[in-house]
Amino acid sequence: MSNRLYISRETAEELQTTLTQQLENKQTNSQYYVFLVWGIGGVGKTTLTEKLKEDQQYLADFSMVSFGRTAGIGNSIKLMDVLYKQLLDNDLLGVTFFSSDPFKELYQKYWDTIHELEKTPSKGKKEVDSEQQKLVKQLTSEGASAFAKFTPAAALPGTTVKKTAETAVDAAGIILSEADRIKQLLQQHRKTKDKRELKELMLEPLPKLTEAFLESCKQHNKPVILVLDTYEKVSPDIDAWLWKYLIGNAKFTESNLYVVIAGRNNILKNESWRKLQQDTNFIYDRPLERFDQGQTGTYLQSIDIRDKSTIEQVFKITKGLPYYLDKIRERRERKERIDFSQLNQDIVSLLLQGLNNTQKRVISLAACCRWFDKQVIKDLIEQQDSLEFKNAVDEKVNCFEWLIKRDFVELINGKYCLDDVARDVFRQEFWREDEQEFRQTHQHLADYFKKRRNEQLYDNSSPAQKYDNPQWRDYTSEFLYHQLYAGTKNSEIELISYLFTSRYFKQDDIVKMPVEDIISEVDIYSDQDTLLIYPLKQCLKEIRIAIDQSYYVLESESRAYWFLEVSNNIKKAGVDQALTRCFRHLHKFTGMAKFAGLLYKPKRCQPSQKLDYLQQAKTEAEMIVTEDDPEFSCDLFLWNLGNNFIELQAYQQAVDCYQIAVNFKPDKHEAWNNRGVALDKLGRLDDAIASYDNALEIKPDDHQAWNNQGAALGKLGRLDDAIASYDNALEFKPDDHEAWYNRGVALGNLGRLDDAIASFDKALEFKPDDHQAWYNRGVALGNLGRLDDAIASYDNALEFKPDDHQAWYNRGVALGNIGRFDDAIASYDKALEIKPDDPSVYYNKACAYALQNKIQLAIENLQQAINLDVKYKDMAKTNTDFDSIRDNEQFQELLQ
């Protein structure tokens, strides 16, 4: 424990006692695994956690972090590693104890794989290209948590009647999204290819690493206590990991693990934590209050302040806050004189006693900064008319050197800052004394960091190059932080424009980090807290969901509302409110912010408006592209515009976008492939094949391009060439069920029915629920006269797609051909339930009734068929199925 004095308080003792009982397995009314202590800054939460460790170190092993202070815990995976390494470093959990270490081994496997993906090219490439680098970077930054959930289903073809086989799968094989490309990289790279469990780990690392973490803790010979301090600064992602993946894990209670959370806020006011508590009752929570007068007196007497009137005066000034009392202790230990008679009722007078007005002024300016260095302080001082940086506060040292020697200034992770409590006090005082100057200072800092970030770039840097630059990103976060406190009329527009752009480049922390800090400093739900102007507090309340869950709120279309409610208890109304506020300013944006907003808007608008927004985005993109960054320019038109136009069936616009993409990057095989898809959709099959040829010249092992080329060749009737293309696709991806299926279609259309069936069987080997393969297999079997096998195939097709009216119809035909007329009629009835206007079904149903000599039913169904399509009148005249009723007068009248 540090040299802070510890004074017992009732709520703290209750928490300590309950934790001890849990560790000693004593009988209690409840079993607690999470211990929450919360209270205002400076109330002694950190001191209490240190006291817990000191008292319980023989019963349990501790691993402690402090958000905002502990380095290297930027995401949940890194946090687990830091927590775990503390245990290992203390020789508490080593390989000497266990034959295996689940977390250490799995974590090492995860990062070994990442490093291999970074350094070695995937199959068919000579070196790691920029595309692979980008995909691996994305894999590590987001853990691919959204990728497996939102991949669009492949398009399936329409059906045909009584043909040997259908046409091939329509050329819908665009290389769709980053998600697909990451999966493809993992499938093709030698490190992960054919390793299902490893691929699952890379795509969904959080749940698997968390389970391994729990398993390693379970193996420990003593309970493990994780202490998470300054929890008010935790990121939403880590917070969600804690309640959802760690504490919410079914194995959590068996893992020998306890969690202590200390922060300014009562997290049980959060819906997710409240629901967890309702479901489990795992959490023991206690608020930590200030010292009362008696406890304050006890503290002061322990540092040899015994005068009753002095104790009363100190209590009035400090209001019993342990932080302030500790400052008195530190000064007495340094033999500094404190003149209690000169202190007024303001705590600032205690912290600043002995300083002149200029020195106080410098501290007020520094308190506006999240962090500062010499350059920041120099700039702040020089913008003051009457201050000199060199000697304004002390003739011997400059303002920065003087400042960093104050007892409330800390060096954390290489950056200087005021400690949280002192900073709160000084900023509040600055704001009370002169709100206008307070906001002007923040505006000056915003302008300063905006200038400083631009010094990190070349003049011709593209937006992508800016967002790829870590120093530029850090300074942009500082700019946003200060811009919000400045509270100008443009602050909200700046915030949302960076929200859109940072989501586009998947650098969400640019916006998340400053907003999280502000929310930890300002109660945005209280009208009394006015450090942030009211309109911006309202803005943050409304768009916080979009900041915390930007992918699901802005980018994801499919199942986004469902996911947010199930995983984060976020209701649709809250999402819609955030979107309304965000898109309110869309017309005011320019450049990348406007382009990104125009991409996101079609995902949350009326279908009739989507194309217009996308066309506006294309216009904006044409003004953004730059020859200095062809990769970035290509991506704008390939992944964002071209693919979205494809989804809206605006195929010519898609072709135009893909053409622009290949103009910037002629070696981008994905753009050539997708261009071919769009041309295929337009019926320009020869041009499509030429585009696929270009893709394959660049990447000869692109199985998707081979498959798409085969489909186009098949449509032109070049079936042998189509089969050759499918064979090439299968050479590079033997488990490509679509290629096997399409190959079967082409073989069937050539009359090679046995080969077709063999191909369909291969397709079903890799995708047993492919109802189209089952259906076409049934068609081929039927044409071979293997009617019982055909019926069994149709049954399988209908198991996976019960509303496939064509399968019901063909099943009926096969049943009729083996004389099972009642079963055939039942199949026809199912087909008509699904598609009641299909004349062919009524016609075949009439045939079945006629063959049973059910004259009236045969005539009624034939009448229905003729009403829907007159051609069935002529067909009935020569169809021998009607011979048994041909002499019927009503039948003859029907055929007139």
Q: 400 CB contacts (<8 Å, ≥6 apart)?
A: 372, 373, 374, 377, 378, 389
pLDDT of residue 585: 92
Low-confidence residues in the chain, pLDDT < 70: 1-4, 26-30, 90-99, 124, 142-177, 339-347, 558-559
Query: β-pairing, 224-229 with 283-287?
Result: unpaired
pLDDT of residue 164: 34
**Each residue's pLDDT tens digit, 710-762:** 999 999 999 999 999 999 999 998 999 999 999 999 999 999 999 999 999 99
Count other C-beta atoms under 10 Å from residue 133's C-beta.
12
Closest CA to 392 of 343, 356, 429: 356
Closest CA to 123 of 537, 702, 661, 564: 702
Q: Which residues of 642-674 are buried (b: 16+ CB within 10 A; e: fewer)?
A: bbbbbeeebbebbbbbbebbbebbeebbbbbbb
- Name the DSSP letter for residue 638: I
pLDDT of residue 173: 59
pLDDT of residue 340: 67
CA–CA dist 542, 573 (Å, integer): 11
On whether the CB atoms of residues 124 and 188 are closer than 8 A, the answer is: yes
pLDDT of residue 2: 56
- Name the DSSP letter for residue 148: G
pLDDT of residue 372: 95
- H-type alpha helices, 767-820: 771-783, 787-800, 805-817
Closest CA to 745 of 769, 779, 696, 793: 779
pLDDT of residue 502: 95
Angle at which helices 839-851 and 805-817 cross, to 10°: 20
